[in-house]
Amino acid sequence: MFSSLCFSAIRAALLIQRWYRQYVARLEMRRRCTWNIFQSIEYAGEQDQIKLYNFFAFLMDHFTPANWLSYFLLTVPDSYSGPHLTFPMTFCGLSKLMEAFKHKQQLHARYVLQILGETWRFLRILPNINHVSVCPTKEITICGDLHGQLEDLLLIFYKNGLPSCEKPYIFNGDFVDRGKNSLEILLILFGFLLVYPNDVHLNRGNHEDHIVNLRYGFTKEVLVKYRVHGRKILKLLQKIFSWLPLATLINDKVLVVHGGISDSTDLEAVTRIDRHRYVSVLRPPKMIRHMLNGNKAVISGNEDATGPAEGRRRVRSLTNTSNSAQRNKMPRRSLHNLPTTGNQLNCSVEDELRKRRRLAGFDQTYNEIKTSDSDSDPEFGESTETHGQEWKQVVDLLWSDPQPQNGCIPNEVRGGGCYWGPDVTEEVLGRHNLQLLIRSHECKQDGYEFCHNRRVLTIFSASNYYEVGSNRGAYIRMGPDLVPHCIQYQASSTCRELTLRQRCTRSALRALRQQLFVHKSDLIGAFQEFDPNHTGRISLHHWATATEKVLNLGLPWRVLRPQLVNRAQYGMLNYQQWIRELSITEPKPEVIMETMYKQHSNLETIFRIIDTDHSGLISFEEFRQTWKLLSSHLKMEISDKAIADLAQSMDFNKDGSIDINEFMEAFRLVDLSTHKATNNLDGGRDQWLDG
Amino acid sequence: KLISVVSESVSAVEQKITAAFKVFDYDSSNKVDVREIGTIIYSLGCCPTQADIHKFIAEVEEEHSGVVFLEKFLPAMTKVLLENKFPPIPKSTILQAFKVKLDQKGYLKPEELKKLLMEEGEPFTQQEIEEMLAHTDREDNLIYYPKLINKLTSDLTQ
């Protein structure tokens, strides 16, 4: 018995040691390969690096679901004096942003695109109807139309507090148009959405619609503020608007939606809709379109006719059918019917790319590209019964208005949605087991108004909407009893301007926060002395004592406390959280590197496109073919030998093919070396060698 | 000895070996430091013991010069791969190995693991044991080895 145990122990030890040593060796091999590729690219000569970089940039631009990713090609010049943001967004970044906007600074296009890109990615995973719970410790705040009036938003924040985990908000649509700071409002709201995703909820309004924006000023605002990148920003906003949730339900009892309801409103049906197909709610949903004659495409009025050429090319190549049963009614166009005149090379490249995308099983997402870039075409679309009904659901939610009399009639004044009466309210609320409908969409003199037996509450947050003094704005506070409390305000020039003294205090406070952050480990140590049971919380009294002990500045901490600590429940502070929120991050040169890593899923997509036989590996041959295909686009003469060299330099384990890890490693390294000037190279190397 | 059915051709195997070799051939002189041989062998999918590696090195090293030339390494390594001389260890076997000395709990204390790996078999150095333990999250000071096995295997998805 004893001897067999001993034998087992030796055998077990040997096995584990062998196994672990193999792990270590393989890791070492990979590091060594990575190092080699880095060196070979570094010494491969400027030309090769640029080519590889351009190749990837082109791929990113044209294959990934959104060409917003090209933001990484934008560098922020030294002359830029606006705020610098780092991602993921932090509360600190938000503060910087709001501060900058208060001082009428403009955010660099790169950061705009980055925020929008992150927002788009986030919104896509949200359901059509947000579900929110209000509990005894957190009341929720609901804001109505803001219409580009930044001072109103800031006033709400000033009066009510900023959105946070303890202070959830719902913004009920119409953030843009008419006012002159629509974009700033969007960026702030999106920023808060990214930092507090569980506590900030946005509903789509009828003005979150590029057709409406053309008429009511938002499009113009963006194009004027961003002359070079405005179109790209608008294109991305289109996608974002289409992905905004349509409504929010509080405790399954209170429905918050921008416009309202109709007698056919069915929330079950609403949850099943593909909401992003409604780029503009005013037009029927996008359908798959025929490609008529090679390059010719059907372009409806919904399209931004002045879009970039590449975008237009993509719009034209539409022969895919999606897997969804509804859409499979279109005959498939043969890919071999290529036009023989004109841009033959471009066309075959385009077709090749399309074919590869399809083969990559990329249909679903490609449809998204198409459908979000292209526009509906009533002539050629098949409007089935289902589509019409679905569309009506969405329009009604965003465009309807209540009327005093019973019944439900089309809203001809607006041109969309319904006028619905108190009987409809009762019926719909009853059917869904709801007790209150909160909506916006209409300006009210007092900022809010009840109707339909206090079962419908309109909330409007843009004060002085028509002119100075025309109306107040209001917002709603609601606790778990689900009783709405309306708070009114009116923005005026006096309350917006900060006094000189206030501004000085704010700078001093900022410096103080920095000091606190610098001493954070000492502070935590001191706090923990008051927290022997490791609850994570200390009293504010202890906070003051500990902070003075560490910083030794002789400051009246109790007096300053409200400026430094904005969330203490029942006199107790969660100090770890507080320290975290003090954190000040400086933009790192490795921002681009990190961005690359975050593009992991997109790079995977590119990889899959190139990997036409789905082997998980790109062969040199595939690489070469793809490269040839694209070099015509890039207008580069590149010899087969050069392609082979490039491919070889990307093949880490020298087994004749490039696997996805190598692919992404190469991407990251190219970016590293191309941005050599801004990177601390040695620091960068050590980082990933250890890692 | 089992001759495994090799799906690759001999030349494909040779290419793989040469490529792995060249990773450590810094001046392209077709030779590597003998201390890298173990790493190269492991990276080709094999799982030899230290004793196996020493024996292999003895056959290919240039007269205690501390280097190994490709022309000797290649045939020897090709034979190893074709004969599957040092097969990789399946996860299930490793799991059994962790369980064998202890009573199937699913976790063990660091001291237990340390004792096992530093006293038995081909003992770990202090550095090796510390590195391995660093991979575990030791909030409750226990090593959940199924988790550890998973982590180390997934770290190397290739």
Tell me what pLDDT residue A199 has.
Answer: 93
**Rounded to a whole number, what is the distance in Å from the CA of A305 to chain B's nearest CA?**
46
Q: Return the residue in B43, B91, B139 with the most chain A beta carbons within 10 A, the one to mutate for interface testing.
A: B43
Tell me what pLDDT residue A634 has.
Answer: 47
Q: Kindly name the residue from A207, A210, A633, A675 that is annotated as catalytic.
A: A207
- Please indicate, yes or no, if residue A151 is contained in any of the structural domains: yes
The string of DSSP letters for A439-455 reads: E--S--TTSEEEETTTT
Q: pLDDT tens across B49-72, in order?
A: 999 999 999 999 888 788 999 999
Both A424 and A533 in one domain: the answer is no
Triad A501, A505, A560: Cα angle to 5°: 130
Q: What are phi and psi of A176, to 5 degrees?
A: -125, 170
Question: What is the domain-level CATH number for residue A519?
Answer: 1.10.238
Q: What is the homologous superfamily of the domain B91-157 according to CATH?
A: EF-hand (1.10.238.10)
| Nearest by CB: B22 against A8, A11, A654 | A654
Beginning with the edge strand found earlier in the chain, give each strand of the sheet holding A408-410 in spatial order: A401-402, A418-420, A408-410
Over residues B64-88, the mean pLDDT reads 91
In the predicted model, is pLDDT for residue A467 greater than 90?
no
- Percent over 90 (pLDDT), chain B: 25
Tell me what pLDDT residue B93 has.
Answer: 83
Structure tokens at A416: 């969309």
- Percent over 90 (pLDDT), chain A: 33
Taking contacts as CB-CB distances below 8 angstroms, the residues of chain A near B153 are: 23
- Given an 8 Å threshold on Cβ–Cβ distance, is B88 in contact with A22? yes
Both A529 and A485 in one domain: the answer is no
As its CATH architecture, domain B2-82 has Orthogonal Bundle (1.10)
Both A620 and A547 in one domain: the answer is no
Query: Which of A494-503, A517-526, B73-82 has the largest mean confidence?
Result: B73-82
Over residues A540-545, the mean pLDDT reads 86
Over residues A621-642, the mean pLDDT reads 61
Taking the Cβ of residue B13 and every Cβ of chain A, the question of whether any pair is shorter than 8 Å is answered with no
List, in order, residues 6 or more apart from A182 with CB less than 8 Å away.
A147, A148, A175, A176, A217, A218, A221
Taking the Cβ of residue B122 and every Cβ of chain A, the question of whether any pair is shorter than 8 Å is answered with yes
In the predicted model, is pLDDT for residue B1 greater than 50?
no
Tell me what pLDDT residue A517 has.
Answer: 72
Triad B4, B5, B6: Cα angle to 5°: 105
Taking only residues 25 to 54 of chain A, the set having a beta carbon closer than 8 angstroms to any beta carbon of chain B reads 25-30, 32-33, 36
| Nearest by CB: A653 against B19, B39, B97 | B19
Taking contacts as CB-CB distances below 8 angstroms, the residues of chain A near B15 are: 654-656
Both A482 and A507 in one domain: the answer is no
**Rounded to a whole number, what is the distance in Å from the CA of B133 to chain A's nearest CA?**
11
Tell me what pLDDT residue A78 has.
Answer: 83
ipTM, interface predicted TM-score of the complex? 0.89
- Please indicate, yes or no, if residue A646 is contained in any of the structural domains: yes
Tell me what pLDDT residue B37 has.
Answer: 93
Mean residue pLDDT of chain A comes to: 71
Question: Which of A10 and A516 is assigned the larger pLDDT?
Answer: A10
d(CA A146, CA A181): 10
Active site residue A207: yes
In the predicted model, is pLDDT for residue A474 greater than 70?
yes
Instruction: Report the DSSP beta bridge partners of residue A459.
Output: A448
- Please indicate, yes or no, if residue A633 is contained in any of the structural domains: yes
- Percent over 70 (pLDDT), chain A: 57
- Given an 8 Å threshold on Cβ–Cβ distance, is A14 in contact with B121? yes
Burial group, residue B97, by CB count within 10 angstroms (0-12, 13-18, 19+)? buried
Query: Which of A233-247, A298-312, A372-386 has the largest mean confidence?
Result: A233-247
| Nearest by CB: A17 against B38, B41, B122 | B122
Question: What is the domain-level CATH number for residue A426?
Answer: 3.60.21.10
- Please indicate, yes or no, if residue A596 is contained in any of the structural domains: no
Coil, helix or strand at residue A120: helix
- In chain A, which residue's Cα lies nearest the Cα of B19? A654
Both A162 and A275 in one domain: the answer is yes
Lowest-pLDDT choice from A106-110, A292-296, A502-506, B7-11: A292-296
Taking the Cβ of residue B98 and every Cβ of chain A, the question of whether any pair is shorter than 8 Å is answered with yes
Element (H, E) at A129: strand A129-132
d(CA A271, CA B105): 46
Over residues A482-492, the mean pLDDT reads 89
Taking the Cβ of residue A454 and every Cβ of chain B, the question of whether any pair is shorter than 8 Å is answered with no
Burial group, residue A173, by CB count within 10 angstroms (0-12, 13-18, 19+)? buried
In the predicted model, is pLDDT for residue A506 greater than 70?
no
Taking the Cβ of residue A8 and every Cβ of chain B, the question of whether any pair is shorter than 8 Å is answered with yes
Both A182 and A114 in one domain: the answer is yes
**Rounded to a whole number, what is the distance in Å from the CA of B41 to chain A's nearest CA?**
9
Coil, helix or strand at residue A431: helix
Domain regions of chain B by residue span:
2-82, 91-157
- In chain A, which residue's Cα lies nearest the Cα of B24? A32
User: Residue A618 sits in which domain range?
Assistant: 611-675
Lowest-pLDDT choice from A167-171, A273-277, A538-542, A665-669: A665-669
Both A480 and A517 in one domain: the answer is no
In the predicted model, is pLDDT for residue A287 greater than 80?
no
| End-of-domain residue from the set A540, A566, A583 | A583
| Nearest by CB: A8 against B15, B48, B101 | B101
Tell me what pLDDT residue A661 has.
Answer: 56
Q: pLDDT tens across A74-125, in order?
A: 778 888 889 999 888 889 999 999 999 999 999 999 899 999 988 998 998 8
Of A650, A649, A648, residue with least CA distance to A661: A650
In the predicted model, is pLDDT for residue A307 greater than 80?
no
Query: Is the fold of B2-82 the same as that of B91-157?
Result: yes
Both A516 and A651 in one domain: the answer is no
Taking the Cβ of residue A600 and every Cβ of chain B, the question of whether any pair is shorter than 8 Å is answered with no
Taking the Cβ of residue A165 and every Cβ of chain B, the question of whether any pair is shorter than 8 Å is answered with no
Q: pLDDT tens across A575-595, in order?
A: 888 887 776 432 222 333 334
- In one letter, which amino acid is A112? V
d(CA A682, CA A647): 26
Query: Which of A246-250, A384-388, B84-88 has the largest mean confidence?
Result: A246-250
Tell me what pLDDT residue A137 has.
Answer: 82
d(CA A342, CA A361): 30
- Given an 8 Å threshold on Cβ–Cβ distance, is A29 in contact with B19? no
Taking contacts as CB-CB distances below 8 angstroms, the residues of chain B near A659 are: 158
Element (H, E) at A114: helix A109-123
d(CA A242, CA A274): 10
- In chain A, which residue's Cα lies nearest the Cα of B53? A18
Taking the Cβ of residue A9 and every Cβ of chain B, the question of whether any pair is shorter than 8 Å is answered with yes
Both A410 and A538 in one domain: the answer is no
- In chain B, which residue's Cα lies nearest the Cα of A691? B155
CB atoms within 10 A of CB B61: 17
- In one letter, which amino acid is B70? L
- Please indicate, yes or no, if residue A510 is contained in any of the structural domains: yes
Asked if A100 contacts A112 with a C-beta cutoff of 8 angstroms, the reply is no
- Please indicate, yes or no, if residue A61 is contained in any of the structural domains: no
**Total number of domains in chain A:** 3
d(CA A293, CA A16): 65
pLDDT-based confidence at residue A336 (cuts at 50, 70, 90) = very low
Question: What is the domain-level CATH number for residue A622?
Answer: 1.10.238.10
In the predicted model, is pLDDT for residue A318 greater than 80?
no
| Nearest by CB: B23 against A19, A32, A656 | A32
| Nearest by CB: A655 against B19, B24, B39 | B19
Both A122 and A266 in one domain: the answer is yes
Tell me what pLDDT residue A630 has.
Answer: 56
- pTM value is 0.46
- Given an 8 Å threshold on Cβ–Cβ distance, is B39 in contact with A29? yes
In the predicted model, is pLDDT for residue A147 greater than 80?
yes
